[in-house]
Amino acid sequence: MRLFSVRAVLTSSLLLAGVALAGWTKTGDGVASFKGVGPAGFKIEGKTRSVDVKDDGKTLTVVVGLKDLETGIDLRDKHMRDKYLEVEKFPEATLAIPHDEIKWPDEGKSGEGSGKGTFSVHGKSKEISFKYKITNSGGTFAIEGEAPVNFKEHDVNVPSYMGITVKPDITVFAKFNAKKG
């Protein structure tokens, strides 16, 4: 199960918000997840509700805590956290998105798009492309996005357990609400 750990990486996935505006904060619950696959129809999905948003006025950063990432099997979670993501050393995955990578819809409208950001996990950063969908409801923006990530590019060991090896290409997702505040 270590393998499964695919993890972390993904986690990050995130989204983006784009904010062309400074002072965005997360509201309500959020969720981040990843999906990975292996041989013979094997698949793994990890989830965490530890999602936060930071904004320095130029860059919106989605921060996913990895310590609570769960895949549905405890031993696999343990492998993922300790052996592959090394969450004690690297407790977070982040996606940093320049404000101008996102277009914010007007009140009552939705918008979809894609952009580029810097994804960091396991101490390694790499620029990735992401897709997003944002809905503006009374000034609260429901944001969801996904991005493909290759965890070998982040120096995460390829999870392999008892003959089952997870493919390094995974997809990370994030979903949360944000508000300019």
Binding site for other proteins (CB under 8 A): 1, 37-43, 45, 70, 72-75, 77-78, 81, 161-164, 167
Bridge partners of 153, per DSSP, are none
Beta carbon of residue 1, minimum distance to other proteins (angstroms, whole number): 8
What 8-state DSSP symbol labels residue 70? B
Task: Give the residue with the Cβ less far from other proteins, 22 or 75.
Answer: 75
- DSSP secondary structure string for all residues of 24-63: EEEEEEEEEEEEEE-GGG-EEEEEE--EEEEE-SSEEEEE
Task: Give the residue with the Cβ less far from other proteins, 32 or 95.
Answer: 32
Q: 117: which 2 tokens?
A: 């950001």
Integer Cα distance of 125 and 134 in angstroms: 25
Task: Give the residue with the Cβ less far from other proteins, 59 or 157.
Answer: 157
Beta carbon of residue 158, minimum distance to other proteins (angstroms, whole number): 14
Which residue matches tokens 């290409």?
A: 169
Beta carbon of residue 150, minimum distance to other proteins (angstroms, whole number): 16
Beta carbon of residue 118, minimum distance to other proteins (angstroms, whole number): 28
Task: Give the residue with the Cβ less far from other proteins, 56 or 68.
Answer: 68
Taking the alpha carbons of 127, 150, 141, 96 in that order, is the dihedral positive or negative?
Answer: negative
